[in-house]
Amino acid sequence: MEKHERFARTILNGFESYFADFQNITLAAKPRFENSDWQGMHSASTQRIDLYKKKTNKIYEYVELIAGDQLRDFKFWREARESYARLIVGHNNFEIAETFFNSVYCAVFKHRKIRDEHAFVFSPQADIPPVDVNPVFKTYPLEGSLSSLLQQLLQDYRFSCPFENLQRDIESIIGVVESYLLPRFNLAATGVEVQVLEHHFFRNKGAYIVGRIVSGPDSMPFVFPLLKTEGGEIYVDTVLFGSDKVSVIFSFTRSYFMVDATVPSQYILFLQQLMPAKPISEIYSSLGYNKHGKTYYYRCAYRHMKNTTDQFIIAPGIKGMVMCVFTLPSYDFVFKIIKDKFTPPKEMTREQVKEKYRLVKRADRVGRMADTQEFTNLAFARNRFSDELIKELHEVAPSLIEEHGTALVVKHVYVERRMTPLNLYLNDATDEQVVAVMDEYGNAIKELASANIFPGDMLLKNFGVTRHGRVVFYDYDEIVPLTECNFRKIPEARTEQEEMASKPWYTVRANDIFPEEFRLFFSGNQRARKIFDQIHSEIYEVSFWTGLQDKINAGHIEDFFPYRRKLRFNRDMSEVA
């Protein structure tokens, strides 16, 4: 066996080892759910995210030994790539295996000189395997009553622990079908069937049954979220119909699912049919394959750049003190780079900011923090940048910008989905929209805190509004674990001099937080503040924050619902609340 063949096989063995360990962590999700092991579920999620880096680092050690002084020889890598491509022809998961090869390549060359002849910038087979999705879903023909179909379906997807009240849940589902689905979808047609992905999706404290109702050429996506009572019994919390509601379940603002998918692309394609507006890169990431999600994103971004001519511009909104943000008007993503020098009073290093982003990647984002893709040495066409943006980049981050002929290279950048900054959204919002979005803003703060995340700088400009109307936090440079904060009430002034002092007359330590001061985040928008004070005034109280700290320190894991609470079933009255 030639050296480059041994080299290629070692990387493939590394991928197979990674994939097996990934699957093993995932397979343990079902018994964790059955045992209500929520701390274990959270730990396993973090462990699975960390697994990829550990595996690529270990394979790097092996390939370094095998290649010797040829490790950085491009001819050798070209031969290794050709060998690897032959090895994975027909492989069920060749697309993820290609990304693993790329990761080893990038570890050797520090994300430089990435060429398709040396790595899999593009796949010689396809972006996604041409799989048949039929083997991964169960089919339930609607031949009798809907009640009997649901009875069979939920029994097939039961756990070792019993349902709390299965008949009640079936009646609740039928109630939503009658009030919401029937006016939009014909269940009386011939040949109607329900197609359900064969395995549950697990995340946090929930399990999800995902499928669609099919009637001829028409289909309706649905999700059944399953939760557990304190006593360990299962209940259906609601039913969600339609692409938009299902898309929120798989949002880029949430932790990755655990689902037993031995051929992930089969699940990806089925899910993409349910959510045609959601990028496939995000669906890969939502199942835990965030590295391949990054590969898929890059390929789509490259094609978008090739097929458009508009220029990158400075992103709308108030400029940040730490990050410079730019975007392409025709594109649904923003690019964020860390400035060389931060605007006072920000005092931190670039590495500290990176660490905050790593924290977000590994944390439970509970639907309130945007997932990002991190790129090193990302090359753009220089002429696609507006003069104003080029000037800005050279002023605020010259160390991260290199120009090589017609190319502009950004040495380090984060990419995330574009949202409307909350402060801009409020400018044109109706009174009804202000009430809704300020409720969302308060809920975002509270849910982050319940997940042990304190946002730090809660200015309106640091939150965005998604196309679904959800409020999401996206400025991470000041986030810290909530349990590391010391919440205090501002001491009463003892003298007139203390009361009139321009600076605090009392001692303030680095981790001291004064909730009374949070009202300052609304300066300039009294309409928003008035609504917020009516709905979420407890956020200004020290006791609110210390109460959450006590719960977190006691090991409590909060319930986070990726759907509106008003959609939840009323379990006492057997009807939709």
How many helices (H) and strands (E) the chain has is answered by: 18, 22
* Tokens found for residue 393: 């980049």
> What does the block give as tokens for 240?
């969600």
What gap in Å lies between CA 136 and CA 141, rounded to an integer?
16
Task: List helix spans (H) across 68-118.
Answer: 74-87, 94-109
Q: Are 215 and 192 in contact (CB under 8 A)?
A: yes
Contact between residue 474 and residue 416 where contact means Cβ atoms under 8 Å apart = yes
Query: Rounded distance, CA 532 to CA 519, Å?
Result: 10
E strands of 451-491, at which residues? 453-454, 463-465, 471-473, 480-481, 486-487
Q: Which residues contact 199 (CB under 8 A, 6 or more apart)?
A: 259, 260, 261
Q: Is 371 a catalytic residue?
A: yes
- Nearest by Cα to 361 from 41, 53, 30: 53
276 exposure class (CB count in 10 Å sphere: 0-12, 13-18, 19+): exposed
DSSP-derived secondary structure for 44-74: HHHHHHHHHHHHHHHHHHHHHHHHGGGTT-H
- DSSP character for 235? E
Is 398 buried (19+), middle (13-18) or exposed (0-12) by CB count in 10 A?
Answer: exposed
Of the candidates 515, 462, 510, the residue with the CA atom closest to the CA atom of residue 348: 510
Angle (nearest 5°) at CA 407 between 402 and 411:
35
- How is residue 261 written in tokens? 């998918």
- How far apart, in whole angstroms, are the C-alpha atoms of residue 100 and residue 52? 9
User: What is the Cα 194 distance to its own chain's centre?
Assistant: 28
Give the whole-angstrom CA distance, residue 437 versus residue 454: 20
Instruction: Report the distance separating Cα 460 and Cα 444, nearest Å.
Output: 12
Cβ-proximal residues to 532 (8 Å cutoff; 6+ apart), any chain: 438, 441, 442, 522
Give the whole-angstrom CA distance, residue 574 versus residue 577.
9
Phi, psi torsion values for 179, nearest 5 degrees: -85, -30
d(CA 19, CA 15): 6
Please state, in angstroms and as integers, the Cα–Cα distance from residue 185 to each residue in 71, 216, 273, following that order: 59, 11, 17
* Catalytic hit among 237, 371, 475, 477: 371
- What is the set of active-site residues? 371
